Amino acid sequence: MSKLDIAGESVSLTHLDKIMFPEIGLTKADLIDYYIRMAPHILPYLKDRPYSMLCFPHGQSDEAFYQKKRPEGAPDYVASISIAHKEKVVDWSLVNNLPSLVYMANRYCIEMHAWFSKVGHLNEPDVAIFDLDPPDNAGFPMAVKAALRIHEILTELKLVHFVKTSGASGLHVMVPIRPTPYETVRSFLKLVCKLLEQESPELFTTQRLIEKRKGRIYLDAVQNGRGKTLPSPYSLRATPTATVSTPVTFEELPQIAPKNFTVQNIEGRLKKVGDLLEPFYACSQALPEL
């Protein structure tokens, strides 16, 4: 075990030479270094959102498990919030600072998953996300078509919005909003998704059952729910090449693929184009009534 003194805290680190991504030889030390370097772009989104641990104790290519509860014995710098779930109360972690981000990476959290809502308004998300999920990796062009059509609709509604790769095979269109009840947010998203489905039923579906999608792209509005999560901006994904959930412009969508953005080139992209999500954090807007 070693200690890392960072941001006024001492973080315990273990098994730093463990291979986390066999195909590219990325170690646990590399994983931690990535999140340290990218913290200025990741923490603004994670801050004050209940955090769901997705742990890969044997690396990217092996089984993973979710853990909602803050680990027993977690240091004080890992804040938490107690949330009632049916018949029990769960202490969720909060990744509000650099030491807690490093702590999670050391716990084998390759991906960073957090709620749509924040402490203080847990029933009211401050972001609405269209989750565009292709049937397979070859379906990314369909996700692009869906994102561009949603872009047209949101522009007509004068809603500020952003898009990022999921880091896997799809796209996330993100709308920063004032804290709004989950049901209201889902209703808005469902209406837009239904419109796309009606316009191009051969391409798009809102059908949740995989066997009924028949090769179409799934427009997921249901994911926007209390306690549900999606990978944060700039989160690594557990893919062989350590792809990154990357903010992009709508203009460049037709020319890109999720595999384009990885742990090995994301910082070069940031130096070139900047953080495209930076305006996201200063935006708060009401969803229109449709």
Mean pLDDT for 2-19 is 97
Does residue 259 sit in helix, strand or coil? Answer: helix
For domain 127-282, say whether CATH 1.10.10.10 is its number.
no
Which tokens go with 143? 């996700």
* CA angle at 136 for the pair 113 and 112, rounded to the nearest 5°: 10
pLDDT at site 227: 94
* CA angle at 166 for the pair 249 and 183, rounded to the nearest 5°: 95
Q: Which residues pair with 162 in a beta bridge?
A: 174
> Closest Cα to residue 215, out of 103, 133, 128?
133
The per-residue pLDDT for range 166-214, each reduced to its tens digit, is: 999 999 999 999 999 999 999 999 999 999 999 999 889 888 777 777 7
Domain boundaries, the chain: 2-114, 127-282
Q: With beta carbons less than 8 A apart as the criterion, state whether 137 and 46 touch.
A: no
Asked if domains 2-114 and 127-282 share a fold, the reply is: no
Query: 136: exposed, middle or buried (C-beta count within 10 Å: 0-12, 13-18, 19+)?
Result: exposed
Alpha-carbon torsion angle 102, 108, 165, 80, nearest 10:
-60
The per-residue pLDDT for range 95-128, each reduced to its tens digit, is: 999 999 999 999 999 999 999 999 999 999 999 9
CATH superfamily, domain at 2-114: DNA primase, PRIM domain (3.90.920.10)
236-248 burial, b at 16+ Cβ within 10 Å, e below that, comes to bbbbebbbbbbbb
